[in-house]
Each structure stands twice: as C-alpha cells, then as structure tokens.
Amino acid sequence: MQIDGKDIVLDAFKEVYKTLDNVRVFFAPGRVNLIGEHTDYNGGHVFPCALTIGTYAAVRLRDDDVCRFYSKNFPDAGIIERNTNETVKDESKSFTNYPLGMVAALKEKGFEIRRGFDVAYYGNIPNSSGLSSSASIEVLTGFFLKELFGLNISNLDIALLGQKCENEFIGVNCGIMDQFIIAMGKKDNATFLDTATLEYLYVPVKLDGYKIVIACSNKKRGLKDSKYNERRQECDTALADIKTVKSINTLGELTEEEFESLKSNIIDETCRKRAKHAVYENQRTIKAVTKLQEGDIEGFGQLMNESHDSLRDDYEVTGIELDTLVNAARKCQGVIGSRMTGAGFGGCTVSIVLDDCIDSFIDYVGKEYKEITQLDADFYVVEIGDGPLEI
C-alpha cells in the first residue's frame, strides 16, 4: 500500500513541478476509532487505531518563502500558491488551510520555518469519510517540516499543534484524539487514551478470525458545517450545570451512578441527553478495553452496538445513512459489533466481521444501503498500522 502511494505521489509531483530533484516522501495514516466517540473533548477515554491507508506527501524545499501546494485528490484546484508568513485561513484556498495552519502553529511556538516548499499530496483515505483525512494532513505536514528543518519537536507535540491548527486556524473545536493516534499509532495495536491526562496504553488487537471492516457512507459532510461545535457547547452547558453542585472539571470524571444522581441539575433536557452519552460512552470504552484484553471479542462487539445506539438516541449524530449501514450489518451472519465512527453526520461505520463472512457482509450491506439511500457504499477491510514516517 505504501509503495503504491509513494509512486503515485511522486508521479503527481513530477507532473506538476517538472522535476524530482531533492524530493523526499512522507506518510501519515488515517485512523478509525473502535469505541469512545465524542468523549475526547469531554475528558473521557477513546480507543482508536492508526490505519495503513493515509496521506502521502512528496516535498522539496525552496529558496524563498513561497509554499506551493498540489493535491492529487483535488486536481482541478491546480497548484495553489501561499506564503509561510500567512496566519489567516482563506476559504478560497481549499485544502491548503490545513498544512498552512500547521506552518503557522509551528512558527507561533517559536520554530523557524526558514524557507518555503513545493509539495504534492495524495491520500487514499476517502474524502469527508470520517477517517480523519484533515488530521492526517496536519500531522503529515508537521512531521515533514520537523524532518526537513531538523526541528526539536516530538510526535506528541505535533499532535497537539495539529489540534491547535484545527481549533484556531480551521475553526473546528475538536478534541485531541485524531491527531494523537495519527502521530502516535502502533502497528497491530489500538491506543487506550485518557484525553484528560494524555496517559495512554497500547493494547494489542487480537481478533481471532475476525477483521475490522469499514463502510463509507459517501454522505459528504464537513465538521465545520455539521453540528459538531453545537454538540460540544451542549456538553459544556451540562457540565456547567453539574458544577453548581459538584466540583469536577470534565464529564469524563463521572461514573454512570454519579451521573444518574446529578442529572436533575442539568436544566435543559437536550443537554442532559448529550451529557448522558458522554458519561456512559466513556465507561463503555473502559469496559471494552478490558473485554478485548480478556479475549472476549463478543463482549467487545456488544459494547460497540451500545455505543452506536447511544450516538443515535442521546447524541443524535448518526442519521439515516449511518443507521442504515449499522442496521444492515447487524442482520449479517458473523458480525459481532457495528457502530458509526468519527464525528457522525455522514462518514463511516466500523464493524467486526468473521473472516468467512466478509464477502457476504459487503454484498448484503451494500445492496440494502443502496436500496434505502440510493447511495453506493465503499468497503475497506483494514489493517492497523504505525504513525508517520519517511518512505
């Protein structure tokens, strides 16, 4: 996969910049979250893994402060020229706001980006799929700038700057999960991350005859245009109400029992539902990791199912496309768990499917989804990979 991606991005670079002199190639993965959704900005736990699909960059330094960007995924945009000194997002400049936001974040932290660069990107993550193509390009850009300029910065700090870029430059009030797992991923392991403390544990994913299958709804959505920021505000409102009677910093500090005893203090019913999801989902994630460590794959799958139901009923971020994919998946033989993954409002589902049933799963779910939504789903049987690297 990475060899093919390297060839594709090098071909794209040569096509638009007419040379391959002094070009280096880097890769950063996409990610899928197995369980723990909309908990990262609520101080809870998440359980994502990096994938072997992701984003590639072919890049070379320039002798001036000009940055030229090209994406194989958005060829009609052509070469977009910007400058290392730009600190404001430009909606007309498409995807380049993500890498330029990383340049701005690094410079704000005191790192010297002394020269511009020519770069071509290629991603084999489906656009707007919820597999975190935006965080992938942020971490990738931070990583290649670290390597090109010899910056003394850790992958964890690159992840934190990626979140800062997303929050302040792009305008999406996301948590740390996406950038963290992309920067810190480990092959064949998911990462149990406490988003309140950034303490983490690598947990081997041993599925014993099962595979992770991602279904992409092809329902396009952008986080800024979705109700993502609204959900975060609703959780903040619920937290503020609880703080009037209990001293806590995040919803992730509460057990289910504590939430039930305190929920009457949340004035707005909608905010109460959002907070219930945040608390219960955090506890589900903790239990799910234990199930996986004990080899209880079916127990893990049941918690995945409960996660989706909560995201549908309490957090209300699924929609007909994701619900249709999950409902169809749960009818299939050999499926032990299925849920939406990512922010919702479109994007992807993740299912754990018995090896021998994967072909019939893809066939049945694809047909049912097309019949109900008139959309074609794409399916990916994925492997868990490492974080960013130079190829």
Catalytic pick among 40, 178, 241, 314: 178
**CA nearest to 215, candidates 316, 88, 361:** 361
Q: Any idea of the CA torsion for 249, 252, 258, 259, to the nearest 10 degrees?
A: 100
Mark whether 178 is an active-site residue. yes
3-state helix, strand, coil in the chain (%, to 5): 45, 20, 30
Q: 86-93 long-range contacts, Cβ below 8 Å, gap at least 24?
A: 89/169, 89/170, 89/171
CA triplet 171, 174, 178: central angle to 5 degrees? 125
**CA nearest to 11, candidates 359, 365, 23:** 23
Number of neighbours of residue 214 by Cβ within 10 angstroms: 24
CA–CA dist 4, 157 (Å, integer): 29
Please name the residues in contact with 230: beta carbons below 8 A apart, sequence gap of 6 or more: none
CA–CA dist 227, 231 (Å, integer): 6
Q: Which residues are catalytic?
A: 178
